[in-house]
Amino acid sequence: MSREGVEHALRARADERDRVSGDLLDLESHTTYQLLKGASLRGETQRRWAAAQESLVTLWSLNDAYRGVLRDAEQIRATRARLTPEQLSQLTELLAGPSVVLRATAKPVEQRSLLPQKDERLTLDQTLTRMDAAFREVTSALNDIDAVWNAVLPRLDGADSDLRHIRDLERQLGEGADLTAQEAELKRLRGSVLEDPLGPSAEPDLDRLTKLLAGSRAELELALTVKDEFARRREDLVAALDRVRAAESEARLAHGAVVVKIALPPQAQPRGRA
């Protein structure tokens, strides 16, 4: 590589290193990634996430080796303003040759060989391609898990809310129903979705439970409406009866006064001033 080529390659690789580091930091700060780090997984999700974690280990190992080669190249470049032919050769080998060493990893005994395991040597471009493949495997698992959680967990929260609302309606009505089975089913579905979102879909069972809770809630809301309407009509009826009683009382008083006037003799009538 020429001096200009080396300078250009160093700048491009430095930008590439920073971009990759930013992507890895974004990956580790991803909400679903943080949840999965301490999650108790099982089934298909456990298998898929275990494979993703292996890819993540490889990704970080490749990234460290990549950064190490680039650091060596930057140190050589920083030694003097004008590079010697020997330094150009060293930089060319680091930037364009198989300079990244991927150490052989210890394998399970059933996968081992008695022959010595050789380290693998990669160019920077090959290393970046390997990192990208590992990164895509991890993000693919994250996206698939995230899609299920985003679709199902809000529905489970809604079912929880319906269950609480049903209990509140029952208290207002002074009635009680056995919702133990629905609570247990909801707990089971939530555990299944959290521990194995990539396993058998929980949505058919959730559809059935949601429909059942919605029906119970609608019936109780109607019963409460009828109860409230009955109470209002009863109050109106009581008020109307009170008005009737008051009118009857006034009528009796008026009737008594009329009877008294009729019974009085003529001389009992007040005299006119005229």
122, β-bridge pairs? 100
The structural domains of the chain, with segments of one domain joined by +, span 3-152, 155-241
CA distances from 158 to 4, 74, 165, 197 (A): 62, 56, 10, 18
Which pLDDT score, from 0 to 100, does residue 189 have? 94
Instruction: Quote the pTM value.
Output: 0.73
User: For 254-273, b where at least 16 C-beta lie within 10 A, e where not — what string?
Assistant: eeeeeeeeeeeeeeeeeeee
Report the distance separating Cα 50 and Cα 72, nearest Å: 33
Which pLDDT score, from 0 to 100, does residue 237 have? 72
**Grouped pLDDT means (10 residues each) for the chain, 274 residues:** 85 93 93 90 95 93 94 86 84 91 74 76 94 96 95 94 87 77 91 94 91 85 76 71 77 74 59 46
Q: Which are the contacts of 41, defined by CB distance < 8 A and separation ≥ 6?
A: 49, 195, 196
DSSP conformation letters of 22-39: HHHHHHHH-HHHHHHHT-
Q: Which are the contacts of 217, defined by CB distance < 8 A and separation ≥ 6?
A: 162, 165, 166, 169
Which pLDDT score, from 0 to 100, does residue 220 have? 80
